Amino acid sequence: MKKVLLASMIAGLSAGMTVPAMAAMAASQETYEQYQATIDAEGNSKVSGNVVFIPGDNDQMTVKLEASNANGMSAGLHEGICRYADDGEEAPDMLVFNENPAFELNALEDGKSTSTIELTVEALMGDPYSVAIYDGSSIVGCGNVQ
């Protein structure tokens, strides 16, 4: 009986030491929610892809863009939504696509681009934003941030 009790106490003590250590490790590793956009082709460009926004420290955001058929093209984060990127449509003021990017993103190399921008989650989610991919001055792909 004493051996069983001693074994139980050792197991409990061992588990008790492990749980706080694991809790401290988990607390030190902050996890962030990620935000994204799906890039759809504009016209018949065949450009498509995904963008992930990863919040970081000091109001910085890492923007990871992957797109097919877009090697060497430029990209930008714009205020407004893709639907209104074409000047032909009237848009409500808060949804108007601003032709000048709020943030220029690094050009795509081998279909990938990673940029760091000064933007908070609150700003990204507070106003409508979209990511556009350009071939020269023409938008060939666009996706709304969600």
**Domain covering 35-144, topology:** Immunoglobulin-like (2.60.40)
What is the predicted pLDDT for the residue at 12?
43
What is the predicted pLDDT for the residue at 89?
66
Provide mean pLDDT across the span 64-79: 96
What is the predicted pLDDT for the residue at 40?
96
What is the predicted pLDDT for the residue at 27?
38
Please compute Rg for the chain using Cα positions: 23
List, for residues 81-124, the tens digit of each pLDDT value: 999 887 656 888 889 999 999 999 999 999 999 999 999 999 99
The full set of domain ranges for the chain reads 1-31, 35-144
What is the predicted pLDDT for the residue at 23?
36
What is the predicted pLDDT for the residue at 8?
42
- Cα angle 85, 86, 89; round to 5: 110
pTM of the full structure: 0.75
List, for residues 4-47, the tens digit of each pLDDT value: 443 444 444 444 434 333 333 333 334 457 899 999 999 899 99
